[in-house]
Structures are given as C-alpha cells and as structure tokens.
Amino acid sequence: MTNSQPATDDHGDLLTNMVREFAAKEIRPIAKELDETERFPVEIYEELGQLGLFGITVPVEMGGSGGSTLDYARVMEELSYGYASVADQCGLVELVSSLLVEFGTEEQRDHYLPGILDGTSRCAYALTEAEAGSDLGNVTTNASKIDGAWVLNGEKIFIHNAPVAEFALVLAVTDKSAGKRGRMSMFLVDTDLPGVAKAYKEHKMGQRASQVGGYVFQNAELPERALLGPEGAGFGAVLHVLEKGRVGIAALALGIHRAAIDASVEYANTRHQFGRPIKDFQGISFKMADMATEYRAARLLVEDAARKTDSGSTDAGPASSVAKLYASEAAVRATSAAVQVHGGSGYIRGVEVERLYRDARITMIYEGTSEVQRLIISRALFK
C-alpha cells in the first residue's frame, strides 16, 4: 500500500479493504508463477465469484453485487495490484454482464449470468478481426437468417478468454446494406456448437495468465434466441459498454502503477550504493515523486469518469477516454521508471517490476488504443 492512496467513503473503504486483503493473500503470492506458466487460475476465479467480485454493477435481483462503476473501479485497482490478469477477468465479465443486463431477455440472463457471476463458467467478448481493430466498422463476420436460425461465418482474433470460454458475445454484420450504426448485431454463441472452432492461443508480452486466442465460424447454426438485443443495435451497444470498460482498464492501470511505486520504495530504501541508500540520490527520489504525482492524478481521473458514468453524465464518454489515456500511459511511464530505479535487477525475469513493465504495456492498446482515445477526446472538443 502506498502513502499516495487517497481516502474513500465508508462503503468504498469496506470493499477496497476486502479486495486488498484478498489480493495480498491469494493473488500477489502466485503472480510470478502465473506469469511464468501462463496458467489460467480457475481456483482464484471461483473465489472471486464467491466474494461477489464478478458483475459488480449487475443488480442484486439478477444475482450481481448491485454496485456502482466507482465500486467496480476500486475492485479493479485492488485486483490489479495483486496481478493484472486477474483484474482483466473481472473486467471482461463486467462488459459481458452489462450487455446481458441491458439487452438480454429473461431467458438469456437466466442461462448465461449465473455461471459467469459465480466464476464457474467463462465468457469472451469477440469484436476484433484481422481487418477490424481500431476500425470496428470494418467487421466482416456475418450472420444470415435462414429457416429461423442464424448462420454465422467469419473469424475473430485477439479475443481474451477465447481458448477457455463456454460462450462468446460476437459482433457480426446482419444487414450489409445498412450504414455503420444499423449494420451489426450481437450474438451469444456457445463455443461447443458445430461450426465454431477455437483458433490458436497467443503468447503475449505481459498479462500472460490472460488466455487470448481467436475463433473461426464456418456455417455455425445459432438458434434464433442467440440474438442479443435488437437486430442492428450491436455497434452502438458495444461502443457504449466500452466506455465503462475504459474506466475498468484505467483502474487496472492504477493497480499496476501503485505496485510499481511500492516495489520501488522498498528497493530504494534497501539498495545501497556509494555508502548510502539510493533513495538519498535526488535522481532516484525525484523519479519516484513523479510516479506518485501521476498516480494521484490518474486516480482522480478514474474516479471522475466512474462518477460521471454512474450519474449518466453526457461527459461520461470523453471522461472515460481521458482516464484510460492518462492512467495507461502514466502506468507505462511509472513501470519504466521503476525498472530504472531497480537498475540491472529491474531487467531480470522474476523481479516484480520487470513483470509490471510488461503487464502495463497492453493497457495503452486494448479497449481502444491511446490514439483512439485521443480521437474521442478531440472529437468531443470540436463538437
């Protein structure tokens, strides 16, 4: 825990403390092993489910925790302080469950929500394709209605949980002739259906316990009830829920940032050169002052975006992009500085800051790259 941690309200403190203790006891001790082995920690996810840490904002009557986006951000920061891949799983469930809550029929919610909330089943959120990354309007995976069923064809890449998920929320074109806004729909696709194949698992720079892979759909026949929400509403829905997702990733970046500060404080206190602890050198202590300053600034931006999301403010979208842009880039700067504070040790496998540096890097890329966040922020400026 760093001294730069601002106070929170009572409810926030209770939740934060509970997750912090869990992360300290159950997650941090195995982070190094998970990074090395890329193991999917099923036992941790079942415990997260039992603690009600999946689907934080899902209403209680639907089996969730009924929390706010601010609660969600606090949980993400604390889990990520333990290990970012674990927080990432929580973020993924939040995205998919938010869409099930908003667009799902009772039947769809009853079928899919309980398993992902209690951590016994896995979901994926499948938007990206080879030619549709930042430009999601370019998705070509398509679903046609034939004899009352949907026939799905196409390929998705870089999908978190694809190697392990029982079902995926898939964005597909249902009306080629419509404009971007009305062209795509969302589908709940059971991954054991004939015609659905899991592609290879990727090996990544960081967050290595997050399982990432692809899907190939070849004339996969989906029942009519696989359509989530109204036909043609998919593009707008996935972009909207990504706003909450960006608050989550910004908070995940905060957890990595704080872990980098704490590791650096400990190292700078104990490592001696020229007869004194390296914290006595201004070149080191000022670097750490910058890390702490940026952490506090990022945290305020995350809280601002979370509160705006909770209040339904029209500024919630740009605020979540600002938070994600700043917090992710600040985490990359801070983890790079932490490696520097550790000298040669910071470059050695098995030393925490080496992993944190790798874990931070993807936060500038997934759920919208830094460039895409700048596009959203500048568009809001000139609107």
Q: Which is nearer to ligand FAD, 134 or 273 (CB)?
A: 134
Q: Which is nearer to ligand FAD, 178 or 365 (CB)?
A: 365
In whole angstroms, how close is the CB of 32 to ligand FAD at the nearest point?
19
Candidates 20, 74, 183, 204; binder of ligand FAD (CB under 6 A) is 204
> Between residue 65 and residue 84, which ones bind ligand FAD under the rule CB under 6 A?
none
Q: Which is nearer to ligand FAD, 204 or 257 (CB)?
A: 204
- Of 308-316, 338-346, 353-361, 366-374: span binding ligand FAD (CB under 6 A): 366-374
> Between residue 336 and residue 365, which ones bind ligand FAD under the rule CB under 6 A?
362, 365
In whole angstroms, how close is the CB of 29 to ligand FAD at the nearest point?
24
Q: Which is nearer to ligand FAD, 93 or 268 (CB)?
A: 93
Q: Which is nearer to ligand FAD, 18 or 375 (CB)?
A: 375
Give the torsion through C-alpha atoms of 356, 69, 245, 51, to 10 deg: 60
Interface pattern 122-141 for ligand FAD (x via CB under 6 A) = ---xxxx----xx-------
Cα gap 364→349, rounded to integer Å: 22
Q: Are 295 and 262 in contact (CB under 8 A)?
A: no
Q: How many residues form the binding site for ligand FAD (CB under 6 A)?
A: 18
Candidates 8, 47, 369, 377; binder of ligand FAD (CB under 6 A) is 369
In whole angstroms, how close is the CB of 208 to ligand FAD at the nearest point?
10
In whole angstroms, how close is the CB of 158 to ligand FAD at the nearest point?
4
In whole angstroms, how close is the CB of 166 to ligand FAD at the nearest point?
15
Interface pattern 145-184 for ligand FAD (x via CB under 6 A) = -------------xxx------------------------
199 contributes a contact to ligand FAD by CB under 6 A: no
> Between residue 208 and residue 237, which ones bind ligand FAD under the rule CB under 6 A?
212
Catalytically active residues are 367
In whole angstroms, how close is the CB of 187 to ligand FAD at the nearest point?
14
What is the binding site for ligand FAD (CB under 6 A)?
125-128, 133-134, 158-160, 204, 212, 362, 365-366, 369, 371-372, 375
